[in-house]
Amino acid sequence: MTVVESKLAEMGYTLPTPPEPIGNYLSACRSGKIMWMAGVGSRRADGSRISGKLGADLTVDEGYEAARWCALNLLARMKMELGDLDRVTRILKVVGMVNSSPDFEEQAKVVDGASDLFVELFGEAGRHSRSAPGMAVLPRNTAVIVDCVIEIAED
C-alpha cells in the first residue's frame, strides 16, 4: 500500500471505483509532468450521488462532504492513470463548481471539502490555487463537481 493510500486508510477511506466519463472526453490528459484531471461529481463509493442545490436542498456541511467525495473520485482516477498515488508530487489547481441556489454565497466553504482532503494527504504539496464558482445547474443535478491539475513524478 502506498503512503497516500495508507493515510487514506487511517482516515477511514478507501478509494471508490473510478467514475467513467459521461461524455466525449478523457478522464485525464498529460503533457510532461502536468496532468489535467477531468471533473468528477459528488458520487459516493456505493455509487449513490449527492444531488441538489446548496442553499435550497443541501447545507454547507452536506456540500463539504460532496466535495470530499469529488476529491476521492479524483484520487481514484489518478491511481487508475498513474498506478500509484505516490507519483503525485503536487496538487497545482482545483476548480470546484457548486450547484447553488441564487442566494447561496458559501461556495468556498463547500469546496474546502476537496481542498482539505488534498492538504491532509499531501501536506504542503497538497496546497493549491483554486476557484469555487456557484453554478445555476450541474449535470444530473449533482451537488458539486471538482476538477484539478496535478504535477507528477517522471516515469
Residue-range domain boundaries for the chain: 3-17+28-152
Burial 34-70 (b: 16+ CB within 10 A, else e): ebebbbbbbbeeeeeebbbbbbeebebebbbbbbbbb
Q: Which of 86, 66, 90, 64 is nearest to 150 (CA)?
A: 90
CA quadruple 138, 144, 145, 150: dihedral, nearest 10: 160
Cα 5 to Cα 24: distance, rounded to the nearest angstrom: 30
Position 2 scores a pLDDT of 85
Q: Which residues of the chain have pLDDT under 50?
A: none
pLDDT of residue 37: 98
The predicted structure's pLDDT at residue 155 = 73
Question: What is the pTM assigned to this prediction?
Answer: 0.96
Give domain 3-17+28-152's CATH superfamily. RutC-like (3.30.1330.40)
